[in-house]
Structure 1
Amino acid sequence: MSEPVRGLVVSHATLAEGMVQSVRQISGAPEDALRAVSNEGCGPERLQASVLEALGEGPGIVFTDLPSGSCAFAARRLSVDRPDTAVVCGVNLPMLLDFVFHRELPLPELVDRLVTKGKSAITGQCREGAVHADRAASR
């Protein structure tokens, strides 16, 4: 059996830490499954070094808050030299929860699954839809 994929959430300010703590509280995932890095106070080189250190060895996915900016740039630069590393931008909580329960999947399959899960978790409604606010139906 291959090594489970590690996850790293990289974000602006404290968003990553909050998301990782939420995932651990909800799922009971072990600390080595998902970690957090903030770009706060980091220049490009320092941020990339922090991401590399936190990711460790083996297959990994770097989740970023935005598709551009320092977090995504550092993740993409790092992934060039690490063929077993993927980058997923626009992270959300449903995506991370799905990750911790399916990290044994092959990296390409896992990335496709997580992007689908993240997109499907985004729903919206206007005031007219609030009549049925107690229903968990997507619109």
Structure 2
Amino acid sequence: MSEPLRGVIVSHAAVAQALLAAVTVITGVRDALVPVSNDGCDTGALAERLTQAIDNKPAVLFVDLPGGSCLTSSVRLARSKTDVAVVTGVNLAMLLDFVFHRDLSPADAARRAAEAGSRAIRTPAA
């Protein structure tokens, strides 16, 4: 790919901004992710925010929940674009993986990030 993928964190309230801040502190990377919140907007306004965030570039949308307005708007956008993928259940581990593998296709980056996020979910012994 000529340009690194863009990641868009799509969430309720300020979750996206908080995840972005954590990724930036850990990695120092500032240009890989864009936060989008559904706070104070209807689905039409959320769709517009997402469209602006991807800026007609290949992207992976990292959504907080596997249902609701954030997912619905993200999937609708991805269906209208050939180079946009969606991952639900966003967590810090998947975003960290994504930041360092932005040279992949959206589908491959989404798959890889989802696997990294899943591996990070554990119930450690006390």
TM-score range, shorter chain: over 0.9
3-state SS of paired residue (1:82): coil
C-alpha displacement at 1:81, in angstroms?
1.1
* Partners of 1:18 and 1:66 in 2: CA distance: 16
What are structure 1's unaligned runs of at least 5 residues?
131-139
* Partners of 1:39 and 1:108 in 2: CA distance: 24
* Partners of 1:90 and 1:63 in 2: CA distance: 8
* Partners of 2:3 and 2:119 in 1: CA distance: 28
**What is residue 20 of structure 1 aligned with on the other side?**
20
1:1-139 paired onto structure 2 within 5 Å = 1-30=1-30, 32-125=31-124, 129-130=125-126
- Larger Rg belongs to: 1
C-alpha displacement at 1:111, in angstroms?
1.6
Give the share of equivalent positions with the same residue, in percent: 45
The answer to whether the Cα contact below 8 Å between 2:63 and 2:89 also exists between their aligned partners in 1 is yes
3-state SS of paired residue (2:109): helix
Which of structures 1 and 2 has the larger relative contact order (alpha carbons within 8 angstroms, sep 6+)? 2
- 1:47-67: CA deviations, max 9, x gaps? 010111012122101100001
Q: How many residues align?
A: 126
* Partners of 2:39 and 2:60 in 1: CA distance: 21
With structure 2 as the length reference, what TM-score do the two structures score? 0.95
**What is residue 135 of structure 1 aligned with on the other side?**
none
Question: Structure 2: which amino acid aligns with 1:79?
Answer: A
What are structure 2's unaligned runs of at least 5 residues?
none
C-alpha displacement at 1:106, in angstroms?
2.1
3-state SS of paired residue (2:47): helix
